[in-house]
Amino acid sequence: MAVISVPPRPYDATAVRPGWADLPADLRAAINARLGSRVTWAATAGGGFTRGFAGVVQTAAGDRVFVKAASLVDQRHLSDWYAREVAITAALPAGLPVARPRWTLTAAGYFVVCLDAIEGRMPGLPWSLGDLEATLATYATVADALRDPPAELVALGSPRLADLARADLAWWGELATGRETVPNLPAVARDRLPELAALEARLPGYAESTSMIHGDLRVDNVLVDATGTAWLCDWTWLCFGPAWFDLAGLLVTAYASGLPADRLFDRHPAARTAPHDGLDAALAALAGYWLVHGASPSTGSPHLRAHQRWSGEMALAWLAARRRWG
């Protein structure tokens, strides 16, 4: 019987962010003016690992939208991410289950994004098979639409996964040479650092692609609506890469949920172009990234590093099971 593991804190309760009432009064006034009606109700998003404002707001006129806001001074990286998300979601192909931007606003030293509000819920962990199958079905549609991305999306100048893999997904090589250390490295990895380094080193070559991917496909970037349709959120990390890499990252939590992750990967349309050891290369690279970053200080949510550590352990456990490491 498969062992089930859940993260140290539920993904819908990881955020440490201001509420609507915590925002500066002049910023709230500017948002009210742009909405054309006063906000009378707000629900702060519980998921995520940044400290920017994010939540659904409802106006006296009855409009419901999703608003994000970040300081242009203290959170400039975050405001830049929000601006990037707006550009990407505006250029994604029509008809995809993705929240579209309505407007942006710069006021009171903040950058504000307004998107369609998706009336849905984040899937819980362990995954229910229904929620996971809905998410996989949506991703099949998205991956197909981004196999030959529109010119407007390409023109945004997104990074390439192959380059990212060389720059920030090569941590086993650092660990093997002693240039990086991780406290309490899982036992299954301690005697296999060269093998893990060799696996992750294959990813850059495998990741060359003219297709585009979400780049951060995980359970807390999914909402399932009342009809059972899964919507994909938080498109900041769009990049050129093969869809099977997104699929590998998503299914780490399926493996942790005791579901047949290998079979789910193999039967998904996005996996058709994966090399025979592509999944292993992706899992090795992701595990190394998560474990190293999980041992580093964080300026975001205090729950980020624990989630990264858990994700790294799950990716490594799945890889170990696939390669029959004792």
Same domain for 140 and 110: no
In a domain? residue 59: yes
Predicted local confidence at residue 259, as pLDDT: 97
Predicted local confidence at residue 50, as pLDDT: 93
Predicted local confidence at residue 204, as pLDDT: 98
Same domain for 126 and 102: no
In a domain? residue 128: yes
Q: How many structural domains does the chain have?
A: 2
Helix, strand, or coil here: 80? Answer: helix
In a domain? residue 5: no
Same domain for 67 and 168: no
Helix, strand, or coil here: 206? Answer: helix
Q: CATH number, domain at 46?
A: 3.30.200.20
pLDDT, one tens digit per residue, over 223-261 is 999 999 999 999 999 999 999 999 999 999 999 999 999
In a domain? residue 6: no
| DSSP states along 117-142 | PP-EEPPPSSPPHHHHHHHHHHHHHH
Same domain for 234 and 158: yes
pLDDT, one tens digit per residue, over 157-212 is 999 999 999 999 999 999 999 999 999 999 999 999 999 999 999 999 999 999 99
Same domain for 308 and 167: yes
In a domain? residue 287: yes
In a domain? residue 70: yes
Same domain for 96 and 192: no
Predicted local confidence at residue 3, as pLDDT: 81
Predicted local confidence at residue 176, as pLDDT: 96
Contact present, 105 and 30 (Cβ < 8 Å): yes
68: domain range? 11-116
Residues 6+ apart with CB under 8 A from 233: 98, 99, 118, 221, 222, 223
| Domain limit, last residue, from 98, 116, 134 | 116
- Dihedrals phi, psi of 296, to nearest 5 degrees: -105, 160
Of 252, 246, 295, 320, whose CA–CA distance to 11 is shortest? 252
Same domain for 197 and 244: yes
Enumerate residue ranges in the chain where pLDDT < 70: 1
Same domain for 209 and 79: no
Same domain for 164 and 103: no
Instruction: In whole angstroms, give the CA distance from residue 191 to residue 83.
Output: 44
Predicted local confidence at residue 225, as pLDDT: 98
In a domain? residue 307: yes
Same domain for 145 and 89: no
Same domain for 206 and 102: no
Same domain for 277 and 147: yes
Looking at the DSSP bridge assignments, the partners of residue 224 are: 121, 230
| Domain limit, last residue, from 67, 87, 116 | 116
Contact present, 211 and 146 (Cβ < 8 Å): yes
In a domain? residue 24: yes
| Domain limit, last residue, from 62, 88, 116 | 116
Q: CATH number, domain at 215?
A: 3.90.1200.10
